């Protein structure tokens, strides 16, 4: 099971062009296989509605179709392949399928799961904003193992 708001990494296994049943809104439905959780699917909508720019941490707004184009380019698609009228979808499928992707799970009140965000994993893997560091000295060597850093010594009255 996926947990709401949690990030997972997996391989993109499918990219399909879809239209919503109610309004006919176009989108790219992307399925990501997470090895220990199963498949999770999300959609990059292709409308003019404004969303946060995936390339801009200041959260400027761009149309959804432009955000999808930016995401495709982050995965390695090129502009020429994206605009070709007959092969644009095949270009996206060939470029994205098999690549690693990070997904944020969204679980609604009924237990239905979808990918709220699908993006290229951060450089260095793992995510979480941390990088592997080399341990040159033990952080525990500065004091004895049974030392309590919050203990009040006998020479130091509490008031």
The pTM of the full predicted model, rounded to 2 decimals, is 0.73
Least confident of 27-31, 136-140, 148-152: 136-140
* pLDDT above 70 (res 147): no
Q: Give the CB-side neighbour count of residue 125, counting CA atoms within 13 A.
A: 3
Q: Return d(Cα 103, Cα 126) in angstroms, integer.
A: 12
State both tokens at 74: 């982050």
């Amino acid at each position: 099971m996926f947990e709401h708001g949690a990030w997972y990494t997996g391989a993109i296994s499918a990219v399909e062009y879809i239209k919503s049943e109610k309004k006919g809104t176009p989108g790219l439905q992307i399925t990501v296989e997470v090895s220990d959780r199963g498949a999770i699917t999300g959609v990059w909508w292709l409308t003019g509605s404004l969303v946060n720019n995936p390339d801009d941490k200041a959260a400027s707004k761009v149309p959804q179709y432009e955000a999808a184009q930016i995401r495709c380019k982050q995965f390695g698609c090129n502009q020429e392949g994206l605009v070709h009228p007959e092969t644009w979808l095949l270009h996206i499928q060939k470029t994205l399928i098999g690549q690693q992707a990070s997904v944020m799970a969204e679980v609604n009140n009924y237990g239905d799961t979808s990918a709220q965000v699908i993006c290229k994993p951060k450089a260095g893997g793992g995510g979480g904003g941390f990088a592997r560091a080399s341990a040159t000295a033990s952080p525990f060597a500065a004091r004895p193992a049974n030392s309590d850093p919050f203990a009040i010594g006998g020479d130091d009255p509490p008031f």
